[in-house]
Chains A and B, each alone.
Chain A
Amino acid sequence: MNFKEIKEKLKTKTVGIAGCGGLGSNCAVALARVGIGKLVIADFDKIEESNLNRQYYFWDQIGKVKSDTLKENIKRINKDIEVTNHNVFIEESNFEELFKECDLVIEAFDRSESKEMIVRAMSKFFPDKMLIMGIGMSGWGQNDSIKETRYDNLIICGDQASEISDELPPLAPRVGMVANMQANVALEILLK
């Protein structure tokens, strides 16, 4: 498939991204660059200086709403991508409405509680859709530890071992690797 054919096929596809932080912002940008038809992005948060070590935002965007700003940044990369953004805290009660039109959903949360919520919500509302999660990406080095694991309609990208802490912060290289792996799996599914 050449790039023209790839773009033609992706044009009809919609990907949901739950969270616009380190995973979500980088994954969205990768999918935008290859020409996904539509992205549905959601996050309740605002950009902080501490986010700039890994998230796809800029110094002059500190204080802005993440989902609005990610949409702006996506449009600066590829103006043809349709983006629907929601400035909301994603929970089970609004999950179905937010992501019902998506062909698949990317999990891009930081908190464990939200990661748990999305597994439950997908299984409840969209049992036949693929969920692509990012689990384990803190620290630096150890390229080999980052892998993809498939369980039925759940795909995990990450080392599944490193948890964030003060001594093991999430940093651009490994978070970006996992975010791009998630985008890569999404492409593999959508281009089938």
Chain B
Amino acid sequence: MKITLNNRPETFESTSMTMGELMRIKNFTYKKIIVKVNNKIVEPHEYDSTILNENDIVVVLHLLAGG
């Protein structure tokens, strides 16, 4: 399946995956993260129940301190 992750195209062999699986595959383990799928916020407790579909637009933002 193909998705867009942080504006980059990504292709995976599996035909479906959850947001939780994507987080583990990509090793996104930052302290403060916001996840959006198709511009909707996905909460951490929803990662494993959120199925990603072909052409989904996923944003994983690392909210670094500073300003």
Residues in A lying within 8 Å of B, measured CB to CB: 19, 21-24, 108-113, 115-116, 119-120, 123, 134-138, 149-154, 156, 158, 160-164, 170, 175
Q: Chain B contact residues: over half helix, strand or loop, or mixed?
A: loop
Name the residue on B nearest A136 (C-beta): B64
Cα separation A115 to B39 with both chains bound (whole Å): 17
Cα separation A170 to B63 with both chains bound (whole Å): 15
Name the residue on A nearest B31 (C-beta): A112
B25: min CB distance to chain A, Å: 20
Whether A109 touches B64, Cβ cut-off 8 Å, given contacts A120-B41, A149-B7, A151-B7, is no
Q: Mark B14-39, 1 if CB is under 8 A from A, else 0.
A: 00000000000000000110101001
State the total of A-B contacts with C-beta under 8 angstroms.
Answer: 77
Residues of chain B lying within 8 A (CB to CB) of residue A115: 32, 63, 65
Cα separation A113 to B63 with both chains bound (whole Å): 8
Interface residues in B22-67 by Cβ distance below 8 A to A read: 31-32, 34, 36, 39-41, 57, 59, 61-67
Residues of chain A lying within 8 A (CB to CB) of residue B7: 149-151
The answer to whether B41 and A135 touch across the interface, beta carbons within 8 angstroms, is no
Name the residue on B nearest A179 (C-beta): B67
Cα separation A115 to B64 with both chains bound (whole Å): 8
Name the residue on A nearest B59 (C-beta): A151
Name the residue on B nearest A153 (C-beta): B39
The answer to whether B66 and A154 touch across the interface, beta carbons within 8 angstroms, is no
Residues of chain A lying within 8 A (CB to CB) of residue B59: 151-152, 154
Cα separation A112 to B61 with both chains bound (whole Å): 11
The answer to whether A119 and B61 touch across the interface, beta carbons within 8 angstroms, is yes
Residues of chain B lying within 8 A (CB to CB) of residue A138: 66
Name the residue among B32, B62, B64 with the largest chain A CB count within 10 angstroms: B64
